[in-house]
Homo-oligomer: A and B are copies of this chain.
Amino acid sequence: MTGKQPPPSQPKPDERIRDRNEAKILKSAVELFSRKGFDGTRISEIAKASELPKANVYYYFATKEAIYTRLIERVLVGWDIALEHIHPDREPRDALSAYIDAKLTYSKNHASESRFFANEMLRGGQFMSRKQIRHMKEITRERVRVIEGWIEDGKMVRIDPHHFLIMLWATTQFYADFSNVAAVSLEKKRLGAAEFEAARATLVEIVLNNCLPTK
């Protein structure tokens, strides 16, 4: 017996290596794909950024597409989280400002994932499965219903819920995907915490002060 206390389910050493190397590859890949897209990214670049030989990347992922689709799956999971805030049991003011906050925090902390998804959408979303598209449709439809419910209850002004959601989505997204445009506009070298806070405050003001009946 040594002083080490093995955790309940100790992974095999091989699995630890696999997990670590896959994580390194995916991290490098999401950054590269987010900048240059699927066709523009070279496996050799991913290998170099991962500090692994190219053949090693192929040991973990059979094809370039396998890396890409794994990343789509991961990004879509992170996607739903912010939208969960828009929930029928919450008051619109709480829910909408929580959503804006969560989305901007995601934009700040997961900028390359966000850009990756933007790149895939620019391409037309051809790598997404029908199941994934169906899922996006469903979660959107649910949130539209929540907003419609708020409108019917007189808690929100009468507004097109689809375009309202698009407005929130587009604006929060912008600070991640086009951060350099935002930086040029704000006359900063890069976006920092202060800029994200000002974005949040402005957006909350515009959205909440207009779309809620009482102020």
Contacts and interface: CB of A to CB of B under 8 A. Distances in A.
A156 B190 CA distance: 29
Interface in A134-188: 136-137, 140-141, 159-160, 162-167, 169-171, 173-175, 177-178, 180-182, 184-187
A207 interface: yes
Nearest to A165: B185
Contact of A210 (B136, B175, B210): B210
Contacts of A207: 206
B39 A180 contact: no
Given A160-B201, A167-B206, A184-B137, A36 B37 contact: yes
Interface stretch (A22-30, A69-77, A116-124): A116-124
A166 B211 CA distance: 19
Contacts of A182: 166
A138 B201 CA distance: 25
Given A166-B174, A185-B166, A36 B35 contact: no
